[in-house]
Structure 1
Amino acid sequence: MQSLLSRSLLAAAGLAFALGAQAQDKFTYMTNWYAQAEHGGFYQAVATGIYKKYGLDVTVKMGGPQVNILQLMAAGQADCIMGSSDLQMMIARSGGLPVVTVAAIFQKDPQVLISHEDVDGFEQMKDKTILIAPSAQRGYWLWLKQKYGFTDAQTRPYTFNIQPFVADKNAVQQGYLSSEPFAIQKAGVKAKAHLFADKGWTSYATTVSCMESTTKDRSKVVAAFVKGTMEGWKSYLADPAPGNALIKKDNPNMTDEQLAYSVAKLKEMGIVTGLDAPKLGIGMMNEQRIATNYKFLVDNKLIEADKVKVSEAYDFSFVKDLKVMP
């Protein structure tokens, strides 16, 4: 017969085990804009308990136009952030921030130029006024100039307002495939969206990027977050309702109509599930493609080769064997 002491010790051990099993690692991920369908998989993994299944208590924090998410991550206010592109993260690393990209959800960058309906392609935009944000000057605008012969003289600042485009038949503006074209359509203007990714732009988008110290000191937690995120995206594209409910809670201005449009575009154009994803899984990164992106940045003097090494700016181990298939 067990002594009272031994039974007490066993009960205490059982309680400790139960508490340990229920403990959740806290993890904060910060997005690069207000909550929207383009962030759906992250919200879905929270809403459906996928992160919890992997032992995580995840908080998704919204970014926005005045929010410097790189700065906030460096200050310890986020564990990982959503890079608009992997190029952006390499530029940040070149600037001295030890950021590492561990996954890329968008296999195609949804960045587009939007024209009025009489323009059939980039080749017909040489005489147009092109509205782009200043940040584009250190990214895709260099690629467009080299590929299509555009000039800086034809650009005007884009202020995330579609009205200048709507009012000017000769204008072209930047946008996200799943966002601005919808707003322009709602304004009653017929327009065409021209996707960079279909013309050779190789940048990844919607990354999971973290401080180097986080990938090393919390590697198991980062791995759980990456796995949960990819399952979240698979779930969201199958049935976005749970994630959309959380998106609207964070961003009350988001409408069901906009969410439905965006999800349809993400699926139609294979933004998450296209290119290498059907063979290697959601969130994967191709080393050859990243080498192309790296060369683009070095050739255009956006980074210095001696300040950034691909082997340090990316960690492929978190997605290499995941194979969360679309």
Structure 2
Amino acid sequence: MRRFLAALCALLGFAAPALALDKVTFGTNWRAEAEHGGFYQALADGTYRKYGLDVTILQGGPQSNNRLLLAAGRIDFDMGANMIQAFDSVAQDVPIVAVAAMFQKDPFILMSHPNAGYDHFSDLPKATAIVGNDALVTVYQWLKLTYGFSEDRVKLYTFNSAPFIADKASIQQGYVTSEPYAIAQQGGFTPNVFLAADFGYQSYSTMIETRRDLIEKNPDLVRRFVEASIIGWYHYLYGDNSKANALIRQDNPDITDAQLAYSIAALRKYGIVDSGDALKLGIGAITDARMKAFFAQMVAAKLFKPDLDYKKAYTLSFVDQGVGLDLRPKP
């Protein structure tokens, strides 16, 4: 309809009036960082505007919960951390649906000291594990079931790495895009990094989520936001991301250029965004097979009951169309 009106005005000799943009608010799950880069890129380079969207990015943080704002109808989209959250929404009868998976690999890692007897993943269960509460009741339950980790060896991670740095017989959780950099800066050594996704943990991460009623009432708006965000991620990974990083630093003045550069390099190196099914289906890809496999993992780890209708947690309607594949550099 937009294109028709513009063409009609041109034929009649009128100047086409500026069409109103749809206002959209997208809430992230933490303070602005490279892990949000594709969304900031789509804002900075005008991709959202090209898709008829006036997007506001509402950054998260320790004192905010944008997922609750989404459920309450205060914002339009949010960034889900992983599929456990999405499955839990179904279990709690919260009408939130994942519409894209911007990270094909969950960035959760375990780190160990080099040359301390923990240089292989099979060594890690015998170490003291410094793990946060959220990880303990989610991914660590999978680690227990699959690799024999024990809660008897767990110490609480309070987002202070000093205990890990001081204890060579310990391992610590983190994200591949951030904690290894912090350890190198604070501890003066490069830790061993073990990405759980590379050892069979199948959760997607950095989901775009919205409410079921918005999908039903305005699927075109959902489609445009998802597709523009996908293109933003291609440009952020493979193009000029300087304007996006400037916006990130504007929202989060504490982040450094060095941290941003490290995180972007890690996103590329480990295939966090563009790997697996995304290589053929495009960034944001979701498949039923992957969802089924991950749900089975979580049932086995006793996080969910097997009769949960987990397919309500996501939809394939807005992804897997190859959007942006032409933007990936040719090998």
Query: TM-score, normalised on structure 2?
Result: 0.90
Query: Does structure 2 retain, via aligned residues, the 8 Å contact 1:115–1:172?
Result: yes
For 2:194, the aligned partner's letter is H
1:41 is aligned to 38
How do 1:30-109 and structure 2 match up within 5 A?
Answer: 30-109=27-106
Distance across 1 between alignment mates of 2:193 and 2:125: 16
Query: Does structure 2 retain, via aligned residues, the 8 Å contact 1:122–1:148?
Result: no
Distance across 2 between alignment mates of 1:256 and 1:56: 29
How do 1:226-241 and structure 2 match up within 5 A?
Answer: 226-238=226-238, 239-241=240-242
Matched residue SS, 2:126: coil
Query: Does structure 2 retain, via aligned residues, the 8 Å contact 1:82–1:206?
Result: yes
2:155 is aligned to 156
1:5 is aligned to none
For 2:299, the aligned partner's letter is V
State yes or no: 1:165 paired with 2:201: no
How do 1:1-326 and structure 2 match up within 5 A?
Answer: 18-19=17-18, 21=19, 23-118=20-115, 119-187=118-186, 188-238=188-238, 239-310=240-311, 312-325=312-325, 326=328
Distance across 2 between alignment mates of 1:15 and 1:165: 68
Distance across 2 between alignment mates of 1:220 and 1:16: 26
Q: Which moved more, 1:116-125 or 1:298-307?
A: 298-307
1:6 is aligned to none
Q: CA deviation at 1:99?
A: 1.0
Superposed CA deviations along residues 269-301 of structure 1, whole A, max 9, x for unmatched, are 111111111111111112101001122233333
- Aligned length, in residue pairs: 313
For 2:319, the aligned partner's letter is V
Q: Name structure 1 gaps, 5 residues minimum.
A: 1-9
2:3 is aligned to none
Kindly name which structure, 1 or 2, has the bigger radius of gyration based on alpha carbons: 1
For 1:286, the aligned partner's letter is T
For 1:166, the aligned partner's letter is I
For 2:193, the aligned partner's letter is A
Distance across 2 between alignment mates of 1:191 and 1:223: 41
Query: Does structure 1 retain, via aligned residues, the 8 Å contact 2:231–2:323?
Result: no
Identical-residue share of aligned pairs (%) = 43
Q: Name structure 2 gaps, 5 residues minimum.
A: 1-8
Matched residue SS, 1:316: coil
Q: CA deviation at 1:322?
A: 4.1
Q: CA deviation at 1:234?
A: 0.4
Q: Which moved more, 1:291-300 or 1:73-82?
A: 291-300
Distance across 1 between alignment mates of 2:295 and 2:63: 28
Query: TM-score, normalised on structure 1?
Result: 0.91
For 2:43, the aligned partner's letter is V
1:7 is aligned to none
Matched residue SS, 1:293: helix
Q: CA deviation at 1:306?
A: 4.0
Q: Which moved more, 1:226-235 or 1:239-248?
A: 239-248
Query: Does structure 2 retain, via aligned residues, the 8 Å contact 1:129–1:156?
Result: yes
Q: CA deviation at 1:159?
A: 1.1
**C-alpha spacing 1:317/1:16, structure 2 compared with 1 (3 Å):** farther
Matched residue SS, 1:203: coil
Q: CA deviation at 1:14?
A: 9.1
Q: CA deviation at 1:143?
A: 1.2
Matched residue SS, 2:304: coil
Q: Which moved more, 1:26-35 or 1:289-298?
A: 289-298
Q: CA deviation at 1:29?
A: 0.8
Matched residue SS, 1:81: strand
Matched residue SS, 1:27: strand
Matched residue SS, 1:83: strand
